[in-house]
Structure 1
Amino acid sequence: MKITVLDNATLANTSLACLEQLGSLKTYELTSPEQVVEHSQGADILITNKVVLNRETISQLKNLKLICVSATGTNNVDLEAAKDHGIAVTNVAGYSTPSVVQHTFSLITNLLGNTHRYQADCQQGAWQKSEMFCRLDYSFNDLQGKTLTIIGGGTLGQAVANVAEAFGANVVMSERKGAPCRDGRTPFDEAIKTADIISVHCPLTEETRNLITLNEFKVMKPSCIIINTARGGIINEADLTSALEQNIIAGAGVDVLTKEPAELSNPLANYKGSNLLLTPHIAWASTESIVRLVKEVSLNIKAFKQGESRSRLV
């Protein structure tokens, strides 16, 4: 079978040996919308992370039998169109959980300890000018004893909860906004009102789009920090910028934006305050995660070739 990778750059030069064993492999580092049909022609199997495969494109790919999404989210593939054309679709779930959890706590602990500010001061010679052995210019706060509210109680949310408890934090699992409260959950408004830290791990849906706006920030403690390693759009970016500027909350760690790469006009990308840590959608992308991802894609292809259903969405 002819296998084509449309955005190999997202795999960070990871070995594709396990894919090469399954067919004739062609890779493109990136594929623009105008190049999708050209790059996909003749392929039996397409591998895509973020390249969009819409109905118009799918209808032109006569040899296509399988689309492998090298990610968990599949919003870049028209699943109904694939089904209508008899094309199977698979994804990969769970491969990045350790990486996302680690990055989540990297953001939390850096904000609580003001590590980024101390590091900048050291690079600028402030420690060398100190009159005592250390510098205590900024607060350094324990995670132990803090209330950490998790929005999104799936695999990632539960993994974050486990690590938070190991730190000695008090974990609160938020109920969905406006939903009846289930056992083990806390009503949304109460969960964000009592939180010292809020970590977002829910998917982006119509229900969760703009889940957190200025209204919600005003309910939170002024000392609260919020972390989003889930999806851009769950937190309103203009409202978060205002909340940081006005010290309505103490800080934020953000790894995802509504439009990526970041637009020049994005208010968070332009914000210069030290109470924001912004990273370029890297939480999922540890070396080990990408190795797991490629391996899982290869296993999905192997299962498909053997007539088995594995990680099938269509």
Structure 2
Amino acid sequence: MKVVFLDAATLPTDLRFDQATIDYTAWPSTTPELVAERIREATVVITNKVRLDAAQLRAAGQLRLVAVAAAGTDNIDRETAAELGIAVANVPDYGSDSVAEHVIATLFALRRHLVTYAAAAVDGRWSASGHFCWTGPRIRDVGGSVFGVVGRGRIGEAAARLARGLGMQVLFAQAPGKPCRDDELPLGELLECVDALTLHVPLTPATRGMIGREALARMKPDAVIVNTGRGALVDAEALVEALRLGRIGGAALDVLDVEPPPPDHPLLARDLPNLLVTPHVAWASEHAQARLARRLEELVQAQLD
């Protein structure tokens, strides 16, 4: 059975197969013009972010399974796959705990200004202090603060569970079109009362730019935002403006609207106050990578059974 991983460099953990039964090729990356050639004789295609359109799927006459090395399947033409009898499988829950921990870790960094204080320890400000410590930006506790969660899927619930363990009050945004639960508020009301906001909704026309100038204006001036969902949920220019003018307390972004971002992306400016940007690694703990790899192996092995 021929198995091809089109962008294996996106998963630092290697997949292991019995070479006697599976002919496995791991391409570090694949450009759109090479997709059709590389999947033409494959029985199973593994992809993370490489797109598979209708024409490419139709040209792959041996293809039985597309395994997406991620939680979503929006890069696959699922309608054509179904028409051709090609199964499409993803791995929806491999990194929920990893992402939730990243949310809480960055929340601590923002509320306690850890980046600023770590820099002050080595850039001379502490050494020049007239007493035993150096104090700069206000340090705010995480415990006792209000944690707003937008998106009540696996990751949102996992982040909420950790937040409650820290003594935070957790509120969810009301799901559109559904009754409001006791621990939920309409998004506009939620924005006004939270000390920290975390985003865990898919990118759709309705959610694109949901955190823009109007939303930011409704938030407390010392509130912070964590986005590990999709970069385009946040209006980049509006967030830059709010940070520079002190209309928001800080932000931690693990995703941007363009990935990888150009060097001149507005949210990569070095002088933005209390902004922490990480390169889409919230999912990538060793444990999460191992779970993802083992699940992909199981999906492939199931084609032999």
User: Is this a same-fold pair by TM over 0.5?
Assistant: yes
Change (3 A) 1:219 1:178: farther
Q: Which residue of 2 aligns with 1:91?
A: 90
Q: Contact 1:2 / 1:23 at 8 angstroms: preserved in 2? A: yes
Unaligned residue ranges in structure 2 (runs of 5+): none
TM-score computed with the length of structure 2 as normaliser: 0.95
Which residue in the other structure is 2:52 paired with?
Answer: 53
Matched, 1:302 2:301: yes
What is the deviation of 1:37?
1.6
Q: 264-273 vs 61-70, which deviates more? A: 264-273
What letter matches 1:34 in structure 2?
E
Measure how far apart 1:271 and its partner are.
5.5
The question of 1:254 aligning with 2:253 is answered: yes
Aligned CA distance change for structure 1 residues 34 and 18 (closer, same or farther; 3 Å): same
1:209: how far off? 1.5
The one-letter amino acid of 1:144's match is G
**2: distance between equivalents of 1:149 and 1:201?**
11
Q: TM-score, normalised by structure 1?
A: 0.92
Match of residue 190 from structure 1: 189
Report the equivalent of 1:5. Answer: 5
Aligned partner of 2:198 in structure 1 is: 199
Counterpart residue type for residue 255 of structure 2: V
- The code of the aligned residue for 2:290 comes to V
Indicate the SS of the match to 1:198. Answer: strand
Superposition pairs for residues 163-242 of structure 1, below 5 Å? Answer: 163-176=162-175, 180-242=179-241
Deviations 1:222-268 (A, max 9, x none): 11101100111111111111111111111111111112111344321
3-state secondary structure, aligned to 1:158: helix
Contact 2:240 2:272 in 1 (8 A): no
Q: Secondary structure at the match of 2:226?
A: strand
Greater alpha carbon shift after TM alignment, 200-209 vs 280-289 = 200-209
- SS of residue in 2 equivalent to 1:190: helix
Range 266-275 or range 75-84, more displaced: 266-275
Q: CA separation in 1, counterparts of 2:182 and 2:221?
A: 29
- Quote the Cα distance in structure 2 between the aligned partners of 1:33 and 1:50: 11
Structure 1 CA distance for aligned equivalents of residues 272 and 178 of structure 2: 35
**1:148 pairs with 2:121:** no
Structure 1 position 63 matched with structure 2 position 62: yes
Task: Using the TM superposition, give the Cα deviation of residue 177 of structure 1 relative to its aligned residue in structure 2, in angstroms.
Answer: 5.5
1:312 maps to which residue? none
Q: What secondary structure is seen at the aligned counterpart in 2 of 1:106?
A: helix
Q: Give 3-state SS (helix, strand or coil) of 2:4's partner.
A: strand
Equivalents in 2 of 1:112, 1:275: separation in Å? 9
Cα gap change, 1:220/1:21 in structure 2, threshold over 3 Å: closer, same or farther?
Answer: farther
Which residue of structure 2 lines up, in the alignment, with residue 263 of structure 1?
Answer: 262
> Aligned letter for 1:6?
L
Deviations 1:190-236 (A, max 9, x none): 11100110011111122212212100111111111011001111111
Q: Is the 8 A contact 1:228 1:256 kept in 2?
A: yes
Counterparts of 1:178 and 1:241 in 2: how far apart (Å)?
A: 31
SS at match of 2:70: coil
Pairwise CA distance, 1:184:
3.1
SS in structure 1 of the partner of residue 131 of structure 2: coil
User: What amino acid is aligned across from residue 299 of structure 2 in structure 1?
Assistant: N
Distance 1:60 1:221 in 2: 54
CA distance in 2, matches of 1:212, 1:180: 22
Deviation at 1:180, TM superposition (A): 4.6
Does the C-alpha gap of structure 1 residues 19 and 129 become closer, same or farther in structure 2, counting only changes over 3 Å?
farther
Partners of 1:299 and 1:50 in 2: how far apart?
20
Question: 1:139-194, CA deviations, whole angstroms, 9 ceiling, x for partnerless residues?
Answer: 22110110111101111111111111111111111113686523432121111100
3-state SS, counterpart of residue 101 of structure 1: helix
Check the 8 A contact 2:6/2:47 in 1, yes or no.
yes
- Worse-matched range after superposition: 108-117 or 59-68: 59-68
Cα distance, 1:155–1:134 mapped onto 2, change above 3 Å: same
Q: Give secondary structure in 2 for the equivalent of 1:226.
A: strand
> How far 1:128 moved relative to its partner?
2.7
Which is further off, 265-274 or 279-288? Answer: 265-274
Q: 1:197, 1:22 → 2: CA distance?
A: 51
Aligned-CA RMSD value: 1.7
* Secondary structure of 2:259's aligned partner: coil
Compared with structure 1, are the counterparts of its residues 50 and 19 closer, same or farther at alpha carbon in structure 2 (3 Å cutoff)? Answer: farther
> Counterpart of 1:72 in structure 2: which amino acid?
A
Give the CA deviation at 1:274.
2.6
* 1:110 partner letter: A
User: What CA distance in whole angstroms lies between the structure 1 residues aligned with 2:175 and 2:207?
Assistant: 9
Cα offset for 1:301?
1.9
Instruction: Letter of the 1:10 partner, please give it.
Output: T
Q: Once superposed, which parts of structure 1, at least 4 consecutive aligned residues long, lie more than 6 Å away?
A: none
**How many pairs align?**
305
Deviation at 1:10, TM superposition (A): 0.8
